[in-house]
Amino acid sequence: MIGVVTITAGLTGALLALWGVQRLTGNASWADAGWAAGVGVVVLLGLATSKIDPWRQTAAMLLMGAWSTRLTWHLVRRSLQAQEDGRFADMRQRWGDRAQRNFLRYFLAQVPLVLVFCLPAIALDGDVREPGWRDAVGVGIGVTGLLGGAIADRQLMRHRDSVAESEICNRGLWKYSRHPNYFFEWVTWCAWPLLASATATGSLALVPPVLLLVLLTRVTGIPPTEARALQRWGDAYRRYQAVTNSFIPWPPATDSPKQISKDDT
């Protein structure tokens, strides 16, 4: 495994550079792209230099490579094409004159967060067991999460490109969950505890999905996103909330309108 000091120094330098990009562009969304890329690079390097069963090593590297490449590209493209993500815009407005200092802290805080999400590489290190049913289920879960996340992001982007700003996306996966992108992101990380061994070291792979679930449902994911949606769409979004699950995809409580608009009052 690569030394923690080397990894930390590299991540710190990369996040400082992205903070500089943020200063130039006025877009702090680069922090998300930096996190996704950082996790992917560190985990792949860790897996490549670890002693692992070749089949498990290949499967794990393919899953991580696909996850990091897709999410990083999605976030980079969004940062280049769109305005700053709403939660960062809220931070910028709330912090006022302290924004740059606080954003510097926020970007640097991604370094320990990346390290936490690299625990699966440690959990798999030295695991030379022959592949079994847990590995097959883990790969299946990982692929499901990857495909679901890609579909959800694509559906939302197509919606934003093709309809009026007043319309809420409630088509495709978004008809069954208000945040299917978050759900499938979490599902992807649920693959790692199954790929890891049922040992104390292997249990480290449980940390990322548990932490991610808390972050998405209680802290930086759904709560601020829902608050901004309510400000933007008001009663129309409340009706969407009333019939559509927040996180886990599920059939709507009632047949929702084909399209919900903030003008529907």
pLDDT per residue over 95-126, tens digit each?
Answer: 999 999 999 999 999 999 999 999 999 999 99
The CA-CA-CA angle for residues 130, 131, 133, to 5°, reads 135
pTM over 0.75: yes
Is the pLDDT reported for residue 83 higher than 80?
A: no
Is the pLDDT reported for residue 255 higher than 70?
A: no
Contact indicator for 2, 43 with CB cutoff of 8 Å: no
Is the pLDDT reported for residue 167 higher than 90?
A: no
Is the pLDDT reported for residue 258 higher than 70?
A: no
Contact indicator for 196, 204 with CB cutoff of 8 Å: yes
Report d(CA 55, CA 228) in Å as an integer: 44
Which of 67-71, 191-195, 210-214, 252-256 bottoms out in mean pLDDT, i.e. has the lowest? 252-256
Q: What is the H or E stretch that residue 164 is in? A: none
3-state secondary structure of 247: coil
The whole-number average pLDDT for the span 186-201 is 96
- For the chain, the structural domain boundaries read 1-129, 132-260
State residue 6's pLDDT score: 92
Match 């890609």 to its residue by tokens. 150
265 pLDDT tier (thresholds 50, 70, 90): very low
Which of 20-29, 157-166, 168-177, 209-218 bottoms out in mean pLDDT, i.e. has the lowest? 157-166
pLDDT per residue over 197-210, tens digit each?
Answer: 999 999 999 999 99
Is the pLDDT reported for residue 172 higher than 90?
A: yes
Report d(CA 160, CA 173) in Å as an integer: 15
The whole-number average pLDDT for the span 221-239 is 95
Q: Can you say how many angstroms the Cα of residue 48 is from the centroid of all Cα atoms in its chain?
A: 23
